[in-house]
Chains A and B, each alone.
Chain A
């Protein structure tokens, strides 16, 4: 059975502004690879200092600020701060709380840290109930929101932020307000139409985007709707992509617009009426999703660097692909097919799987020490002249050392029109 379509909702809620460009017809399956030297003009390997204090076990997140490298280690529940030469500067550990996410706030040169109290587990439905029905306005008992000021002259001062009820959802710092993500059917909402994204100011929703029908039996009743949200170098804009929608939107304080409207072949795209289909049960939903396992489920690691857009896709059966879109000539490249050469000292193409950070001049990725050591022989044999710094690194590296940051300089020629 089909029900009201998105068209109806969009007609009712004209909050999405479609200042979209033309559709980009591309096929990720056929995206070619490229030689490293076509894209990048140089690379630098920056080993991160490994000491008892600075050693990390599992990187959940990696951020690059104008002066620092920042890591969230979810196993040891710490934030580790290094300077851009790899020197360890500071370790932030939060007791009683488990750190959920970190986000760099340019305007304040600070790190926005969200953490949840380890003593509480709040089921999603309970969280929805607490957000909608709780008389309390302060949820600092359950969630901590902080700004860690990164100016070392102040000794990494921590500023506690008020915790609105919406902090029980996934929260982003957005231009002085918060962006709250609602990814599921919510029975505590009276309205039939709900929104995946709400901008919160003082515990109140001031703006909403991505409307959806808040009624049972739709996909959002059975499963979380996945939204990929990535920072830009600018505090007041995000790149956003919603599951099964191959468009990357840009959210600014005033508007949301479709920035890259990709159209992929039908075999890789979910049928248009999926979001508005009522499913009898979870089995039917899973069957509909699994019907074509090449369908792209969502994007992640979206990064705009000049006219280049780095992004990764994941299909219904978890196949990941790392892509590069050049908006000058509208060409799509598959980073998995990159052929390495001397510009990158013949480092393996594996490193292009995690380009997720940038600053004004460079994009950044990383390689684990164990992986680099595996390539050691190849590096020594293929490069006739390896910089002394790298030779030293290879000779002193241990496989349990911290990861090595790779700083890549994008060729100016390919980003110029």
Chain B
């Protein structure tokens, strides 16, 4: 099947991919006519005579030479050579199959007379130029559709790659910051700017390196640099509005509607987004609606997406508002003083039906749990976020965030469970039905103030970092559960519980970290102390949690609810932690001019933790007061290596040791008998766990300028070892119920890692090919017991994904991907029991611009899930969209089809410890939908551009 899909995909590749032969070439050397010297970095551009569209461009090299390849033959062309201070030179040329290479040899440019003012014309045709270390892209030089946006132009710039997920890379390195006039644009996501702002509103685009100021530490000598892009708007386009209004209706009563409108001016950006849908669309709703509903989002490269294939059926209504105001009107992204605010409302109503088969291996026999769950859930929330950011000097920051959320939800749930022994003998049945409502309020304030005399100009004794976090949350839960249990093995009568809960929870917390970075200078003055930075660290945190649980059971005799004395309780948990310590840091760097440079830094944190935890409960046995005093050292290492014009390596290592106390519900749990099959029995003798954690990261990027191809690779590894970990002895009774007796075990290990490789190459100006490979693995070992017999479970999972994308700018793009995921679980008890599940997923997406107005895209997702029992379930999910744009692309009609083959099944397999589980959940079924969208857009003021001076 997979081969058939691949063959199909290759068959429909447009012929242009294979039509790369038979291309022409123009070359020559540019000279100054007066002094007869070669002109370097002159701009040479080739245009089609028919429509003046740009074919290719180049800057002449240091000897004044240019050589432009892959030009179309038998097409009338003209070449424009420009150079500041000289008259432009224009040459007409037609290349044919006999004369594929045309060498102009020496071309002389004539200096312009003082009064000749054709500078403007010249500037309009220079597409790119290096200005110092900044690459400047000139939008006027790219003759594109009047509706073209910034992204359409970026795809035509050599060295720049626009990836499927919206990431932009420059010679292989990600452009991590995208600014508009030095400010983040509606939260800073690249596509909000690149897919909305029209090319015609842009004066120029600058791509440059800036210091990554988020990484500046106490006295770090060499902060890493990152690539940034600044989109400079034309003076008369510094205010504008844009957005989208769209509504769609389809078969099976499916509907979807989104409305987004955004405004900006020199200092303020604001936007409103609203929407409703019942097609399980979560991506691109709420706050993300601003990013997802760009002018080009439906009409650009298409890379598939699994919208709609998630579990259950959800209706979502959202409304969001966003404001960002800069108090200083600065074009400089390094310094700022601004306030941003966000408001969000979300209502979700979800209907989920799940069938689960769970098989547990218990020594001599197997237990199969078949469950059937139906839940209806309605959730309303309001969120307010405020962020104030201020940075006036390199090392001085003030950041303050306030978040408030209020949420109300109701839930109805019916869960039926049948338990079988060895697949054949029915042992017990349970039916639980519950309904609940809950309301929560959550207020959180956090921020940091940092003063760091980075340049050693003022007084380093005043260096500090203060971080604070505090808040309050309260919740009220009311629920009612009716639970019926009957055993087919034991002779006990069926058990019915009708229980009501009323829980009130209040939580107060505050924490503060104060690092005094001027400690070394305070101790030693101007003495360097072997260049080791010493910082005094203090972390303090206090929390108090008040819980009041009222539980009542229905007395079936009196038919009245009476208090459940085992579960009704009041509980107050207070926790205090103080961690004083010292941080030592030393960094070494060396750079050899034009060859390489490296930077290595070590940091050792020596901290001691004092913890006091007090639990006050209406149950005497839960009243505890305990302290934990422990040494918590940490070690960090950072390494950067940069080989000039070749590659760069970033790597870090983190290691730390800590202890965690077992929580009160592990020591003295309150057991709710409605939880039929999984009861936790506490253990008051549990000791605190010792956790040792280390992680390592390595990234390599190609850093070679002016190459067609770029690559990057990264690897991340994490290792965790816990001694005195909390594990359990699970004891099963004849009805299939289990009791988990918690115990301390040693050698609980987790190892995980992931790696990725990206490669992209431009075959020529418009054709590009890219590959990405990602791999992740995790392995954990968890010792425990089943029915008092030692049983260590090992779980290994590996996933590999390879994706290839071919893109012909503005015409066609195709992505083919394959993911193979393998999950293996081994239970080593009396016997060794191994379960393996495997998921294969083959995806293919095609996007075809039939004309400039019509776009067709389709995605096919082939899934093959092999469960632990060897059963294989296959499904093909085929979706397709046809989009038509009209009214200067401002209006859009979209026809979409979901699950054309009617095979959408939400099947998931898991293996964990001694169990293997398969779940099947309801989901959207085939539907067809027609959507109309309108994109209101206006850039610049009503009066148009200001008149040129002097008129």
Q: Interface residues, chain A, CB within 8 Å of chain B? A: 29-30, 32-35, 38, 57-59, 75, 118-126, 142, 184, 281-284, 286-287, 290-291, 293, 315, 317-320, 336-340, 348-350, 368, 370-371
> Is there contact, CB below 8 Å, between A349 and B35?
no
Q: Tell me if B37 and A184 are in contact (CB < 8 A).
A: no
Does B330 sit within 8 A of A, measured CB to CB? yes
Contact mask for chain B residues 496-534; partner A; CB cutoff 8 A; 1 contact, 0 none: 000000000000000000000000000000111000000
CB contacts under 8 Å to A, within B380-412, are 392-393
Is there an interface contact between B526 and A283, defined as CB atoms closer than 8 Å? no
Q: Is B460 an interface residue (CB 8 A)?
A: yes
Name which residue of chain B comes closest to A281, CB basis.
B392
Indicate if the CB atoms of A286 and B592 lie closer than 8 Å: no
Surface stretch bound by A, among B66-74, B331-339, B764-772, B906-914? B331-339
Instruction: Tell me if A124 and B528 are in contact (CB < 8 A).
Output: no
The docked-state distance in angstroms from the alpha carbon of A319 to that of B132 is 4
| Chain A residues in 8 Å Cβ range of B132 | 315, 317-320
- With A75-B591, A121-B456, A283-B337 given, is the CB distance from A33 to B328 under 8 Å? no
Q: Which residues of B contact A315 (CB under 8 A)?
A: 132
16 additional A-B residue pairs with CB within 8 Å, beyond A282-B392, A283-B332, A337-B37: A34-B37, A35-B36, A57-B593, A58-B592, A123-B453, A283-B330, A286-B330, A287-B329, A287-B330, A315-B132, A319-B132, A336-B40, A338-B37, A339-B36, A339-B63, A349-B40
**Chain A contacts for B131, CB-based, 8 A:** 293, 317, 319
Measured CB to CB, the closest approach of chain A to B222, in angstroms, equals 14
The 5 tightest CB contacts between A and B, nearest first, are: A319-B132, A339-B37, A30-B85, A283-B335, A339-B38
B39 at the interface (CB under 8 A from A): yes
Residues on A with beta carbons closer than 8 Å to the beta carbon of B456: 121, 123-124
| CA–CA, A250 and B542, complex, Å | 66
Q: Which residues of A contact B672 (CB under 8 A)?
A: none
A315–B131 Cα gap in the complex (Å)?
Answer: 10
Quick one: closest B residue to A378, CB to CB? B63
Residues of B within 8 A of A349 (CB): 40, 62
Cβ of B111 < 8 Å from any Cβ of A? Answer: yes
Q: What is the predominant secondary structure among interface residues of chain B facing chain A?
A: loop
Is A350 in contact with B62, judged by CB distance below 8 angstroms?
yes
B84 at the interface (CB under 8 A from A): yes
Instruction: Select B458's contact among A122, A123, A283, A318, beta carbons within 8 Å.
Output: A123
Instruction: Give CA–CA (A135, B131) in the complex, Å.
Output: 50
Q: Tell me if B32 and A33 are in contact (CB < 8 A).
A: yes
Question: How far, in angstroms, from A315 to B132 measured CA to CA in the complex?
Answer: 8
| Contacts A318-B132, A336-B40, A337-B40 given; does A32 touch B111 at CB 8 Å | yes
Min CB gap A304→B, angstroms:
23
Return B43 CB to nearest CB of chain A, in Å: 15
**Contacting B331 at CB < 8 Å: which of A30, A57, A287?**
A287
Interface range on chain B: under 10, 10 to 19, 20 to 34, or 35 or more?
35 or more
Shortest Cβ distance from residue A226 to the other chain B in the assembled complex, whole angstroms: 14
Cβ distance B63 to chain A, nearest Cβ, rounded Å:
8
User: Using Cβ atoms and an 8 Å threshold, which residues of chain A touch B526?
Assistant: 120-123, 126, 142
Bound form: Cα–Cα A317–B329 in Å: 19
A34 lies within 8 A of B35 (CB): yes
Q: Decide if B1 is an interface residue (CB 8 Å cutoff).
A: no
A286 is contacted by which of B32, B332, B527, B595 (Cβ under 8 Å)?
B332
Q: How far is the CA of A348 from the CA of B62 in the complex (A)?
A: 8
A287 and B35 contacting across the interface, CB-CB below 8 Å? no
Residues in B neighbouring A338, C-beta threshold 8 A? 37
Nearest B residue to A318 by beta-carbon distance? B132
A281→B593 CA distance, assembly (Å): 35
Residues in A whose Cβ lies below 8 Å from that of B64: 339
- Beta-carbon nearest neighbor of B132 in chain A: A319
Known: A29-B84, A336-B40, A337-B37. A368 touches B594 (CB 8 A): yes
- Chain B residues with Cβ under 8 A from A293's Cβ? 131
Q: How long is the Cα–Cα vector from A254 to B36 in the complex, in angstroms?
A: 45
Output the nearest chain A residue to B326 by Cβ-Cβ distance.
A283
Quote the shortest CB–CB distance from B393 to chain A (angstroms). 5
Chain A to chain B contacts (Cβ below 8 Å), 6 pairs: A33-B39, A75-B591, A123-B453, A317-B131, A319-B132, A349-B40
In angstroms, Cα B63 to Cα A119, docked, is: 49
A283 adjacent to B392 (CB under 8 Å):
yes
Q: Tell me, yes or no, whether B457 is within 8 Å of chain A by CB.
A: yes
Q: Cβ of A118: which chain B residues have Cβ within 8 Å of it?
A: 528
CA of A51 to CA of B132, assembled, Å: 36
Please measure, in the bound complex, the distance between the C-alpha atom of A282 and the C-alpha atom of B394, giving whole angstroms.
9
Given A123-B456, A287-B330, A349-B62, the answer on whether A370 and B36 have CB atoms closer than 8 Å is: no
Proximity bits, B443-471, A CB within 8 Å = 1, else 0: 00000000001001111100000000000
| Contact between chains at A120 and B527 (CB < 8 Å) | yes
